[in-house]
Amino acid sequence: MSNFSKNRFCPTEINQQELRQRAYNQRWAELPEGTIPLTAADPDFPIPEAVQDSLKEYLKGGYLSYGPPAGLPEFREAAASRFSARDGIDLSANRIVAIDSAASGMVALARAYLEAGDEMLIFDPVDFLFSHGADKAGAKTARFKITASDEIDWDLFESLINPRTKMIGLCQPHNPLGRNFTEPELRRILGLAQKYDLWILADEIWSDIVFQPSRHVSMLSIDGSAERTLLLQGTSKSFGLAGARIGFIALPDSSHVENFLEKSGALYTSFGAATLSQIAAIAAWNRCSQWLAEFVTHLQSQRDFACERLARLAGVSISKPDATFVLFPDISKTGWSAEALSEHLRQYAKVAVVPGSERWFGPGAIGHIRLSLATTRDILDEALNRIESNWPV
């Protein structure tokens, strides 16, 4: 326990009673009492107090009238300045649009930038929302297989680009592999996007959760990327705000914004983000950097703790992720399928994990399970004890 972080995430600060009321998406509220959910990437920790305080203060104003289509001016400013400063980029508020979650933004961007029959080139495995977005736009996906750390064969990657390809979907850092693409890798992706005139849909929702000595490199920090990058950000991973449904997209310029507001329906109030949720995000970005730093420190310690123990299990191969709070061990050598193993763990260990099924992550996920680390050390320890005691190999 030497690397057990001493911060507000330790010792136990979570309220299981509240979580059983409020944490859905395969978590506490949806599982039998006694089962530990290491499922959806949603922290077990309460939101920062500064977010609660900002919301209470805003409510005193008394009005929850219609907000503007692109989001409150103060929201757009806060997003632009926070991410400009963090990523060393020059992002202006007039390129920002508030969205009701990165998931919703993924679909809206796909619908705005792809047409039926177009193709999006995505990595395999990767979060299902990329193919979900393409699907809603009537587009197809082509998948390029990667691992947590292997060199990328760029010729093979390029060979998947064809005349129907209109977009590259990038998850940076990468869920579920925890891979943090390097600057040279992002340059290669941009170079191909330039060569074939493709959009880059850069989902950087995990970019706050990067472990030392790695650091986040935003696609927008690569010279020449701005004009073809559609950046996607959210607050569910960094600040536990999944239920607030709030994130933003950054587009190449204000004319793209006008076009997106029209196509998404935001101009007509049929798409948009709640103003209260925007206030929550502003507080998270402006007032919670210490909270976030402690959260990431805790997660890094959780990662080290869990990787070491999972690596000792028979038939498990695991790489330590540079980013994200999910682990994605390869369990194919156990001889169990991910689905059967997950079911076994749920039944006997009373621990819920996400099977690396093709449906959720693509064919490259087969033979893996995904576990979330965003809980207390005590709960993670207990979950690992139970997994070890009930490991079927």
* Binding region for a second copy (CB under 8 A): 15, 18-19, 21-25, 27, 29-30, 40, 42, 46-47, 52, 55-56, 59-68, 100-101, 103-104, 106-107, 128-129, 132-133, 136, 236, 240-246, 265, 268-277, 280
User: In angstroms, what is the minimal distance from the CB of 155 to a second copy?
Assistant: 34
Nearer to a second copy, 102 or 310 (CB): 102
Q: How far apart are alpha carbons 73 and 279 in whole angstroms? A: 11
In eight-state DSSP terms, residue 347 is: I
Own/partner contacts of 75-82, CB < 8 Å, gap of 24 or more, are 75/248, 75/278, 75/279, 75/281, 75/282, 76/248, 78/281, 78/282, 78/285, 78/286, 79/233, 79/248, 79/250, 79/281, 79/285, 80/250, 82/285, 82/286
Q: Which one-letter amino acid corresponds to residue 116?
A: A
Nearer to a second copy, 44 or 119 (CB): 44
Nearer to a second copy, 202 or 273 (CB): 273
Nearer to a second copy, 103 or 338 (CB): 103
Nearer to a second copy, 58 or 157 (CB): 58
Phi/psi at 199 (nearest 5 deg)?
-80, 150
In 3D space, the residue among 5, 1, 2, 3 whose CA is nearest the CA of residue 297 turns out to be: 5
The angle subtended at Cα 321 by Cα 107 and Cα 32, nearest 5°, is 70
Nearer to a second copy, 104 or 180 (CB): 104
Nearer to a second copy, 144 or 271 (CB): 271
Q: How far apart are alpha carbons 33 and 64 in whole angstroms? A: 37
Q: How far apart are alpha carbons 185 and 171 in whole angstroms? A: 13
Contact status, residue 28 vs residue 37, Cβ threshold 8 Å: yes
